[in-house]
């Protein structure tokens, strides 16, 4: 595959869209499309081979950026970089759960765009699917938590605890190999399909698991990986 990426900008502020297009051109992108709403984005990914989408979270219309990205991800293997003026944890969590490549908080600069492009290029080079599998069915009890992989849910004393898809899959992976350590590369290979992700993405996912499931002892093995004791 060529190093050049086909990029779609989904942004309803013309000045920002024009500036982003200019930066992408300066960084070597030659195939760039722009849309201001979800319907235009849907049509573009149907007609063109898009590698990377810069998706504003608050686009015009009834369908917001996250909903738009989720629908596109159902039928297209495309990388998403979200951009927004907001940085609240709930929005970040929902965005990260859509195989997010990067999360840009406005105002972002040329360096942020360059990093995102490099992540996208590296991700495409490492797109080979993982041959590792996790058991389809597992029930695990610890500190009164019950993890049921058949139902894909975690509960404590009968109360369901909501986890995102990646949080749940990561928890199950660590539980399956407990008390052994799971190497960081192996986690990324399975949970993120071997895509190159920002260094903070895995840490933030683990932080949310620890917050939602107090008492589950997830330890970092410095420079190597993570384990549940």
pLDDT tens digit sequence for 5-34: 999 999 999 999 999 999 999 999 999 999
Convert the chain into a string of H (helix), E (strand) and C (coil): CCCCCEEEEECCCHHHHHHHHHHHHHCCCCEEEEECEHHHHHHHHHHCCCCEEEEECCCECCCCHHHHHHHHHHHCCCEEEEEECCCCHHHHHHHHCCCEEEEEECCCCHHHHHHHHHHHHHHHHCCCCCCCCCCCCCEEEECCEEEECCCCEEEECCEEECCCHHHHHHHHHHHHHCCCCEEHHHHHHHHCCCCCCCHHHHHHHHHHHHHHCCCCCEEEECCCEEEEC
Range list for CATH 1.10.10.10 in the chain: 139-228
Q: What is the average pLDDT score of the chain?
A: 83
- Select 6-125's CATH number: 3.90.1300.10, 2.70.98.60, 3.40.50.2300, 1.10.150.20: 3.40.50.2300
pLDDT at 92 exceeding the cut of 70: no
pLDDT tens digit sequence for 38-62: 999 999 999 999 999 999 988 988 9
Instruction: Check if CATH label 1.10.10.10 holds for domain 139-228.
Output: yes
pTM of model > 0.85: no
pLDDT tens digit sequence for 123-160: 777 553 433 444 444 555 666 788 888 788 898 888 99
Range list for CATH 3.40.50.2300 in the chain: 6-125
pLDDT at 74 exceeding the cut of 80: no
């Amino acid at each position: 595959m060529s190093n050049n990426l086909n990029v779609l900008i989904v942004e309803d502020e013309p000045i920002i869209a024009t500036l982003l297009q200019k930066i992408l051109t300066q960084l070597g992108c030659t195939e760039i499309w722009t849309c201001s709403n979800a319907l235009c984005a849907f049509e573009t990914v149907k007609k063109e081979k898009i590698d990377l989408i810069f998706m504003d979270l608050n686009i015009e219309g009834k369908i917001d950026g996250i909903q738009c990205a989720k629908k596109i991800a159902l039928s297209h293997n495309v990388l998403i970089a979200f951009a927004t003026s907001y940085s609240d944890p709930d929005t970040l969590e929902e965005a990260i759960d859509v195989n997010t490549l990067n999360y840009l908080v406005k105002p972002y600069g040329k360096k942020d765009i360059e990093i995102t492009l490099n992540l996208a290029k590296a991700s495409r080079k490492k797109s080979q699917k993982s041959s590792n599998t996790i058991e389809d069915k597992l029930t695990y009890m610890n500190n009164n938590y019950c993890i049921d992989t058949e139902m894909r849910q975690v509960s404590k004393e009968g109360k369901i605890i909501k986890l995102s898809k990646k949080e749940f899959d990561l928890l199950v992976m660590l539980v399956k190999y407990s008390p052994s350590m799971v190497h960081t590369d192996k986690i990324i290979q399975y949970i993120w399909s071997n895509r190159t992700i920002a260094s903070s993405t895995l840490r933030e996912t683990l932080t949310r698991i620890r917050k939602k499931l107090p008492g589950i002892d997830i330890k970092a093995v410095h420079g190597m990986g993570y384990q549940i004791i």
